[in-house]
Amino acid sequence: MTGIRIRELDHLVLRVAELERMLRFYCDVLGCTVERRRDELGLVQLRAGRSMIDLVPVDGPIGRKGGASPGPEGRNLDHFCLRVEPFDGEAIRSELRAHGVEAGPVEMRFGAEGRGPSVYVTDPEGNVVELKGPAG
Protein backbone atom coordinates (compact mmCIF):
# COMPACT_ATOMS: atom_id res chain seq x y z
CA MET A 1 0.00 0.00 0.00
CA THR A 2 1.28 3.46 -0.86
CA GLY A 3 1.13 6.56 1.29
CA ILE A 4 -1.26 8.21 -1.19
CA ARG A 5 -4.95 8.13 -0.18
CA ILE A 6 -7.54 9.56 -2.50
CA ARG A 7 -10.53 11.14 -0.74
CA GLU A 8 -12.71 12.52 -3.57
CA LEU A 9 -12.59 14.23 -6.93
CA ASP A 10 -10.65 17.51 -6.57
CA HIS A 11 -11.16 18.93 -10.04
CA LEU A 12 -11.31 18.09 -13.68
CA VAL A 13 -10.63 20.19 -16.73
CA LEU A 14 -12.97 20.35 -19.72
CA ARG A 15 -11.80 21.82 -23.01
CA VAL A 16 -14.76 23.81 -24.36
CA ALA A 17 -15.70 25.43 -27.68
CA GLU A 18 -18.43 27.77 -26.36
CA LEU A 19 -17.46 29.08 -22.93
CA GLU A 20 -20.57 31.19 -22.22
CA ARG A 21 -22.94 28.35 -23.14
CA MET A 22 -21.03 25.98 -20.88
CA LEU A 23 -21.04 28.52 -18.03
CA ARG A 24 -24.83 28.82 -18.31
CA PHE A 25 -25.20 25.02 -18.14
CA TYR A 26 -22.89 24.43 -15.19
CA CYS A 27 -23.93 27.54 -13.22
CA ASP A 28 -27.62 28.06 -14.12
CA VAL A 29 -28.64 24.41 -14.56
CA LEU A 30 -26.35 22.50 -12.18
CA GLY A 31 -25.80 25.25 -9.61
CA CYS A 32 -22.01 25.65 -9.78
CA THR A 33 -20.51 29.07 -9.11
CA VAL A 34 -17.53 30.84 -10.64
CA GLU A 35 -14.70 30.52 -8.13
CA ARG A 36 -11.96 32.18 -10.14
CA ARG A 37 -11.26 33.46 -13.65
CA ARG A 38 -7.85 33.67 -15.30
CA ASP A 39 -8.77 35.10 -18.69
CA GLU A 40 -5.11 35.61 -19.61
CA LEU A 41 -4.68 31.82 -19.37
CA GLY A 42 -8.07 30.93 -20.83
CA LEU A 43 -9.34 29.36 -17.58
CA VAL A 44 -12.60 29.60 -15.61
CA GLN A 45 -12.75 27.59 -12.39
CA LEU A 46 -16.18 26.58 -11.11
CA ARG A 47 -17.04 25.45 -7.58
CA ALA A 48 -18.97 22.15 -7.63
CA GLY A 49 -19.55 21.40 -3.95
CA ARG A 50 -16.14 20.47 -2.51
CA SER A 51 -14.76 19.89 -6.02
CA MET A 52 -13.92 22.09 -8.98
CA ILE A 53 -14.69 21.98 -12.69
CA ASP A 54 -12.28 23.99 -14.82
CA LEU A 55 -13.44 25.21 -18.22
CA VAL A 56 -10.68 25.87 -20.73
CA PRO A 57 -11.68 27.42 -24.08
CA VAL A 58 -10.02 25.49 -26.93
CA ASP A 59 -8.82 28.76 -28.48
CA GLY A 60 -7.12 29.98 -25.27
CA PRO A 61 -3.49 29.58 -24.19
CA ILE A 62 -4.14 26.36 -22.24
CA GLY A 63 -6.85 24.98 -24.53
CA ARG A 64 -4.74 25.19 -27.70
CA LYS A 65 -2.35 22.63 -26.20
CA GLY A 66 -5.05 19.93 -26.43
CA GLY A 67 -5.49 19.85 -30.20
CA ALA A 68 -8.84 19.74 -31.99
CA SER A 69 -12.10 20.79 -30.34
CA PRO A 70 -14.42 18.24 -28.72
CA GLY A 71 -17.20 17.22 -31.08
CA PRO A 72 -19.30 14.36 -32.48
CA GLU A 73 -16.20 12.40 -33.52
CA GLY A 74 -14.68 12.35 -30.07
CA ARG A 75 -14.79 13.71 -26.55
CA ASN A 76 -12.11 14.64 -24.08
CA LEU A 77 -13.78 12.55 -21.38
CA ASP A 78 -16.22 9.60 -21.12
CA HIS A 79 -18.08 11.03 -18.13
CA PHE A 80 -17.52 12.43 -14.70
CA CYS A 81 -19.61 12.05 -11.59
CA LEU A 82 -20.78 14.71 -9.17
CA ARG A 83 -22.11 13.56 -5.81
CA VAL A 84 -25.48 15.27 -5.15
CA GLU A 85 -26.98 15.73 -1.69
CA PRO A 86 -29.87 15.48 -1.10
CA PHE A 87 -30.73 13.23 -4.01
CA ASP A 88 -34.34 13.17 -5.26
CA GLY A 89 -34.14 11.66 -8.72
CA GLU A 90 -37.50 12.88 -9.99
CA ALA A 91 -37.00 16.39 -8.60
CA ILE A 92 -33.59 16.53 -10.30
CA ARG A 93 -35.06 15.34 -13.61
CA SER A 94 -37.85 17.92 -13.28
CA GLU A 95 -35.35 20.72 -12.61
CA LEU A 96 -33.29 19.68 -15.62
CA ARG A 97 -36.41 19.60 -17.84
CA ALA A 98 -37.27 23.14 -16.67
CA HIS A 99 -33.92 24.19 -18.17
CA GLY A 100 -34.58 22.29 -21.40
CA VAL A 101 -32.14 19.52 -20.49
CA GLU A 102 -33.14 15.89 -20.97
CA ALA A 103 -31.77 13.36 -18.49
CA GLY A 104 -31.62 9.60 -18.55
CA PRO A 105 -33.55 7.43 -16.11
CA VAL A 106 -32.68 7.20 -12.44
CA GLU A 107 -30.81 3.92 -12.02
CA MET A 108 -28.76 2.22 -9.32
CA ARG A 109 -25.05 2.43 -10.15
CA PHE A 110 -21.83 1.73 -8.32
CA GLY A 111 -19.68 4.68 -7.23
CA ALA A 112 -17.16 5.75 -4.62
CA GLU A 113 -19.63 5.19 -1.76
CA GLY A 114 -21.17 1.98 -3.16
CA ARG A 115 -24.40 1.37 -5.10
CA GLY A 116 -26.78 4.27 -5.19
CA PRO A 117 -29.15 6.16 -7.46
CA SER A 118 -27.83 8.29 -10.28
CA VAL A 119 -28.89 10.00 -13.47
CA TYR A 120 -26.89 10.87 -16.56
CA VAL A 121 -27.14 14.20 -18.36
CA THR A 122 -25.18 15.63 -21.29
CA ASP A 123 -23.81 19.16 -21.25
CA PRO A 124 -24.04 21.46 -24.29
CA GLU A 125 -20.76 20.17 -25.74
CA GLY A 126 -21.44 16.46 -25.35
CA ASN A 127 -19.71 15.75 -22.02
CA VAL A 128 -21.64 13.20 -19.99
CA VAL A 129 -22.22 14.15 -16.34
CA GLU A 130 -23.44 11.60 -13.79
CA LEU A 131 -25.37 13.11 -10.87
CA LYS A 132 -25.08 10.57 -8.02
CA GLY A 133 -26.93 10.10 -4.77
CA PRO A 134 -25.82 8.26 -1.62
CA ALA A 135 -25.19 4.56 -1.40
CA GLY A 136 -27.93 2.63 0.19
| pLDDT given for residue 5 in this prediction | 77
Domains along the chain? Answer: 11-63+77-132 (3.10.180.10)
pTM, entire model: 0.80
| pLDDT given for residue 1 in this prediction | 54
DSSP 8-state class, residue 66: G
| pLDDT given for residue 2 in this prediction | 60
| pLDDT given for residue 18 in this prediction | 93
DSSP 8-state class, residue 63: G
**Edge-to-edge, what's the strand order for the sheet holding 107-111?**
79-83, 128-132, 114-122, 107-111
Ranges of residues in the chain with a pLDDT under 50 are none
